[in-house]
Amino acid sequence: MNKKEKKINRRKFVKNAAKGYASIQVASTLPAYLFATSGCNPAEASIFHGVCYHDCPDSCSWEVKVRDGKVISFGGDKANPFTAGKLCGKMETFPEDITYHPDRLLRPMKRVGKKGEGKFEPISWDQAIREVGDQLKKTISEHGSESVLSHGYMGTQSLIQKSVMSNRFFARMEASDIAHTICGGAVIPANFEVNGTVMGVLPEDMVHSRYIILWGTNTKNSNVHQWPYVLKAREAGAKIIVVDPFVSATAKEADWHIQPLPGTDVALALGMMNVIISEGLVDQDYIERYTSGYKELKEHVKSYDPKSVSDICGLQEDDIIQLAREYAKGKPSLIRILVGIEHNYNGGDATIAIAILPSLTGAWRKLGGGLMHLTFEMGGLALNWERLDYHRQMPTQPKRTLNMVQIGQLLNNPDLNPAIKSIFIYNSNPMVTAPNANLTKKGLEREDLLTVVLEHFVTETAKYADYIFPATTQLEHWDIGDSWGQVYININQPAISPRGEAKPNSEFFRLMAREMGYTEECFKESDRDIVKSAFDSDHPYLEGIDFDYMLKHGWARYKIPEPYLPHAEGNFGTASGKCNFLGQSNSLPTYKEVAYSEEEKDNYPLQLLTIKNTKGFHNSSHANVKHLRRKEGRLWLDIHPEDANARNIQNGDELMAFNQRGKVILEAKVTERIRPGVVCMPHGYWPSLVKGGQASNNLTDDRLTDIMLWGGGAALQDCRVQVAKT
């Protein structure tokens, strides 16, 4: 096959991405392609390029200096103008915290105690692979290949170790696939419904914006390299508005904080449309040329007048009117969205409504105007995706896809045919990151479930494994780091040899393929060769950027036309090329009340938000690092003074937040950062490191969002609890 052929179009790439990014020996005898570049004088320090692997919009470039096989310095690559040599606080000590951590797994381990006890004994790679292979063959023989479930996610968003070889392995097996829907499962298909793309205003072009709405994003904490562009825009005269039900670090810095009730964003966006249309603030010429469905939209939003929206959102009518007017007139106006808006039942329709606004006002016409969302399509267009996504060209394919949001239900469903009898978990820690964690725990406790985990540590999930295989860290393997939040591509070189007997995820699946008797050539490709072939592309975004260039520089900015005005004259990714207000489903966004059970209404009066509100943890990563845990302090609950007084709760009191799914013990923070009737808890703490052994996702429900096109996202924030002193 000609590696430069492009057989995967953008529509398929976006859909696939949303679903969502050798010899068996000890490390000293691993193949050379898994090690750092050879030929260096060990007495001299060598510099290697790398990229942060976390599921984060920033994808920071870094440099590693190595002498005698040991890391002697580590830090951001100052040459990259976007990440600018700065790493976030959780990554500044990454080598010590992860690669050289004393508790890191360095040998394969086999369970010897009950599932969940975390009792294991060392086992050789040879023996472990053979035993897993024997059990896997037996499972497939008795229950079929769909009884095997792959559960990989974004524990690394770097492309090779995330999924390249595992996708090939499970496609060849025809195992059950997992839909990657916990984040992006609603917001990506929703934007795709309207605009046919998630690409929009480039991150650096925010400096040209004069009215910026940060909607559903805590930019200052979770998108730290975007924040300087926000400040530059403000210095140039921009007004900064934050829409968030919580007074986040970003909201504190805003010129104006709009604080709607959780899950009502769609009503607010429709209310803005009502004002913009009724007051003649639309760009009629843009609407006529580059959109469809305006007549229907105009009629639809009449019912979302400021008074009605005020009642739904808990906002002042005047604020809704002012926001709509300022947005329509503040050209170039920009709305920045991320996944914060999607984690409720109305999350998909909220995204659709917000995505309509820039076309309604013609914001796309000017540099810095429009919608800023995700950027991963750049890599999908530029890179040789056929090599990275080769599994989709294989003759065998998964026959069913299951939703990871409901992993607990899947593992406990007696009517699922076939039932899940074997699960491979890698780049994922569902006991912390998936909702309804106690149900997931019940499923992982099954003695008839073969559970294989690839990990750096004995995580909450790994405690339930039958076999744990030690994975390499980002300092020890080849990879490519694309980004969903900026327009730079990075290469990741192995700076040191794998510690102990750790192997890359890709190597584990090569070994498993051989054990299963899979002889296809695709299982023999080395990581280095896959990385190299990914840059074998003639797309103009990669002009002058090849493997040799990346080895030398470490990173590159895609060669994007300037100025980048993707929709100044339409050119949307829809079939018509227009922004489709009706979407592909021929319907308009609508606010819908969440249907709670009578038990929830009667017994659990407070709405719980579980948000990424820590600086030291990233999802579940780093939560076992002691110095970061000390900085974060004890797990806490933000509660409004009205709700605290009604329960005789004082600041610092020990509380329990509970519902029908679980009970979490934590510390009270009485604050007006949250509205009455709403409480807020940070996400990411490991339950075993919290008093009482439960954390945020032991309370959350695994209900799905309104947009079901690609399986349905996670309506995590539609969770009700009661709070009381312990």
For residues 325 and 406, state if they share a domain: no
Q: Residue 507 is encoded by which pair of tokens?
A: 């190597």
Grade residue 12 by pLDDT with cuts at 50, 70 and 90: low
- Is residue 456 a part of any domain in this protein? yes
Where is 555: in which H helix or E strand? Answer: strand 555-557
> Residues 157-191, buried b or exposed e (16+ Cβ, 10 A)?
bbbbbbbbbbbbbbbbbbbbbbbbbbbbbbbbbbb
For residues 173 and 226, state if they share a domain: no
3-state SS track over 564-619: CCCCCCCCCCCCCCCEECCCCCCCCCCCCCCCCCHHHHHHCCEEEEEECCCCCCEC
Last residue of a domain, one of 373, 394, 413: 373
Q: Which residue type sits at 489?
A: I
Question: Residue 18 and residue 374: Cα distance in Å, rounded?
Answer: 11
Its sign, for the CA torsion 260, 264, 265, 266, is negative
- Is residue 479 a part of any domain in this protein? no
Mean pLDDT of 31-35: 38
Q: Which residue type sits at 379?
A: G
Q: State how many domains the chain has.
A: 3
Q: Residue 463 is encoded by which pair of tokens?
A: 């405690």
- The structure's pTM equals 0.94
- Provide the strand spans (E) within 199-263: 211-215, 239-243, 256-258
- Is the model's pLDDT at 6 over the cut of 60? no
Mean pLDDT of 692-710: 91
Closest residue by Cα to residue 530 from 391, 434, 411: 391
Question: Residue 464 and residue 472: Cα distance in Å, rounded?
Answer: 21
Q: What is the pLDDT of residue 710?
A: 67
DSSP 260: P
Grade residue 16 by pLDDT with cuts at 50, 70 and 90: low
Q: What is the pLDDT of residue 76?
A: 98
For residues 365 and 385, state if they share a domain: no
- Is residue 572 a part of any domain in this protein? no
- Provide the strand spans (E) within 11-136: 46-51, 61-67, 70-76, 109-111, 120-122
Grade residue 43 by pLDDT with cuts at 50, 70 and 90: low
Angle made by CA atoms 225, 482, 480, in degrees to the nearest 5 = 125
Q: Which residue type sits at 47?
A: I
- Is residue 534 a part of any domain in this protein? yes
For residues 303 and 206, state if they share a domain: yes
Of 62-66, 566-570, 711-715, the range with the lowest mean pLDDT is 711-715
For residues 611 and 519, state if they share a domain: no
Residue 498: asked if its preceding bond is cis (omega within 30°), the reply is: no
- Is residue 3 a part of any domain in this protein? no
Higher pLDDT, 7 or 572: 572
For residues 666 and 620, state if they share a domain: yes
- Is the model's pLDDT at 586 over the cut of 90? no
CB 133 within 8 A of CB 480: no
Of 34-48, 117-131, 324-338, 701-715, the range with the lowest mean pLDDT is 34-48
Q: What is the pLDDT of residue 19?
A: 44
Arithmetic mean of pLDDT over the chain: 93
For residues 279 and 144, state if they share a domain: no
- Is the model's pLDDT at 46 over the cut of 90? yes
Mean pLDDT of 570-575: 97
Quote the domain boundaries for residue 434.
10-24+105-183+380-474+499-540
Q: What is the pLDDT of residue 584?
A: 83
Share of the chain above pLDDT 70, in %: 94
**CB burial of residue 557 (10 Å; 0-12, 13-18, 19+):** middle
Where is 479: in which H helix or E strand? Answer: strand 479-481
Where is 532: in which H helix or E strand? Answer: helix 527-534
* CATH code assigned at 326: 3.40.228.10
Mean pLDDT of 229-233: 98
Question: Residue 208 and residue 703: Cα distance in Å, rounded?
Answer: 40
At 664-677, the pLDDT tens digits run 999 999 999 999 99
- Is residue 692 a part of any domain in this protein? yes
At 240-265, the pLDDT tens digits run 999 999 999 999 999 999 999 999 99
* CATH code assigned at 608: 2.40.40.20
Sheet holding 479-481, edge to edge: 479-481, 488-492, 555-557
Grade residue 41 by pLDDT with cuts at 50, 70 and 90: low
- Is residue 545 a part of any domain in this protein? no
At 70-108, the pLDDT tens digits run 999 999 999 999 999 999 999 999 999 999 999 999 999
- Is the model's pLDDT at 643 over the cut of 50? yes
At 430-489, the pLDDT tens digits run 999 999 999 999 999 999 999 999 999 999 999 999 999 999 999 999 999 999 999 999
For residues 178 and 241, state if they share a domain: no
Share of the chain above pLDDT 90, in %: 92
Largest CA distance in the chain: 74
Grade residue 329 by pLDDT with cuts at 50, 70 and 90: very high
- Is the model's pLDDT at 38 over the cut of 70? no
- Is residue 657 a part of any domain in this protein? yes
Grade residue 23 by pLDDT with cuts at 50, 70 and 90: very low
For residues 645 and 698, state if they share a domain: yes
Q: What is the pLDDT of residue 110?
A: 98
Q: What is the pLDDT of residue 9?
A: 47
Q: What is the pLDDT of residue 707?
A: 81
Last residue of a domain, one of 373, 400, 418: 373
Q: What is the pLDDT of residue 278?
A: 98
| CA distances for 181 relative to 21, 89, 118, 222, 327, angstroms | 11, 28, 28, 20, 31
For residues 534 and 411, state if they share a domain: yes
| CA distances for 558 relative to 165, 370, 491, 545, angstroms | 26, 21, 13, 8
Last residue of a domain, one of 373, 389, 421: 373
Q: Residue 61 is encoded by which pair of tokens?
A: 């470039």
For residues 165 and 301, state if they share a domain: no
Grade residue 2 by pLDDT with cuts at 50, 70 and 90: very low
Residue 500 CB partners (closer than 8 Å, separation 6+):
27, 104, 106, 107, 470
Coil/strand/helix, residue 12:
helix
Phi, psi of 151 (to 5 degrees): -130, 75
Mean pLDDT of 628-636: 96
For residues 19 and 157, state if they share a domain: yes
* CATH code assigned at 466: 3.40.50.740
- Decide the pairing of beta strands 211-215 and 239-243: parallel
